Structure 1
Amino acid sequence: MALLVVSALLCLSGWVSLYVILCSLNGSRGYEWNCRLVTLVHGILAVCVTAYIGYVDGPWPFTHPGTKNTPLQISAMVLSLGYFIFDMAWCVYFRTEGPVMLAHHTMSILGILLTLWLGESGIESCAVLFGSEITNPLLQARWFLRQTGHYETLLGNVVDVLFVVLFVFMRIFVGGTMLYCELISPRPRFFIKCGGVAMYALSWVFMVDIYRFAMRKSKRWQRQWKVQRMEETVVVNGHEGKMD
Structure 2
Amino acid sequence: MIYMEDYVVKLIVFSVAAWSALFLAIRRIVFPKRSFDFCNRLVSTAHAFLAVALASLSIQDWSCPVCPLASKSSPNQMQTLAVSVGYLIYDLVCCQFDKQVKLDNAVHHLVSIIGGIAGLVYQRCGSEMVAAVCITEISSPFLHSRELLKELGYRGTDLNLAADIAFAVIFTFARILIGGPYLTYVTLSADNPYLIKAMALGLQLVSAFWFYKIARMVIYKLRTRSSSFKTQ
Shift of 1:157: 1.7
Instruction: Give the match for residue 58 of structure 1.
Output: 61
- SS of 2:132's equivalent in the other structure is helix
Instruction: Give the match for residue 127 of structure 1.
Output: 131
The 5-angstrom pairing of residues 70-149 of structure 1 reads 70-149=74-153
Runs of 4 or more consecutive aligned structure 1 residues displaced over 3 Å after TM superposition: 57-63
Please state if 1:213 is matched with 2:207.
no
State the Cα deviation string for residues 7-55 of structure 1 (Å, max 9, x = none): 211111111111111122121113222111111110111112212333x
Instruction: Measure the CA separation in 2 of the matches of 1:136 and 1:103.
Output: 17
8 Å contact kept, 1:107–1:199: yes
8 Å contact kept, 1:104–1:202: yes
Please state if 1:27 is matched with 2:32.
yes
- Provide the aligned C-alpha RMSD in A: 1.5
Bigger radius of gyration: 1
Please state if 1:191 is matched with 2:166.
no
Rate the CA distance shift 1:63–1:4 in 2: closer, same or farther, 3 A: closer
Instruction: Give the match for residue 44 of structure 2.
Output: 39
Instruction: Measure the CA separation in 1 of the matches of 2:36 and 2:97.
Output: 12
State the Cα deviation string for residues 94-145 of structure 1 (Å, max 9, x = none): 2213110001111111111000000001221111111111111001111111
State the Cα deviation string for residues 47-79 of structure 1 (Å, max 9, x = none): 12212333xx33734442211111111111111
- SS of 1:96's equivalent in the other structure is coil
State the Cα deviation string for residues 188-224 of structure 1 (Å, max 9, x = none): 2222212111111111111111121122112112213
Instruction: Measure the CA separation in 1 of the matches of 2:138 and 2:112.
Output: 15
8 Å contact kept, 2:27–2:36: yes
Amino acid at match of 1:200: Q
Instruction: Measure the CA separation in 2 of the matches of 1:206 and 1:197.
Output: 14
Shift of 1:225: 3.3
Amino acid at match of 1:127: A
- SS of 1:42's equivalent in the other structure is helix
Amino acid at match of 1:40: T
Instruction: Measure the CA separation in 1 of the matches of 2:188 and 2:99.
Output: 36
Instruction: Give the match for residue 9 of structure 1.
Output: 13
Instruction: Measure the CA separation in 2 of the matches of 1:53 and 1:62.
Output: 11
Question: Please, what TM-score do these two structures have when normalized by structure 1?
Answer: 0.87
Rate the CA distance shift 1:63–1:69 in 2: closer, same or farther, 3 A: closer
Unaligned regions of 5+ residues in structure 2, if any? none
Instruction: Measure the CA separation in 2 of the matches of 1:180 and 1:29.
Output: 42
State the Cα deviation string for residues 123-179 of structure 1 (Å, max 9, x = none): 211111111111110011111110011132221121111111111100112210111
Q: How many residues align?
A: 225
Instruction: Measure the CA separation in 1 of the matches of 2:198 and 2:82.
Output: 21
Please state if 1:48 is matched with 2:14.
no
8 Å contact kept, 1:63–1:181: no
- SS of 1:149's equivalent in the other structure is helix
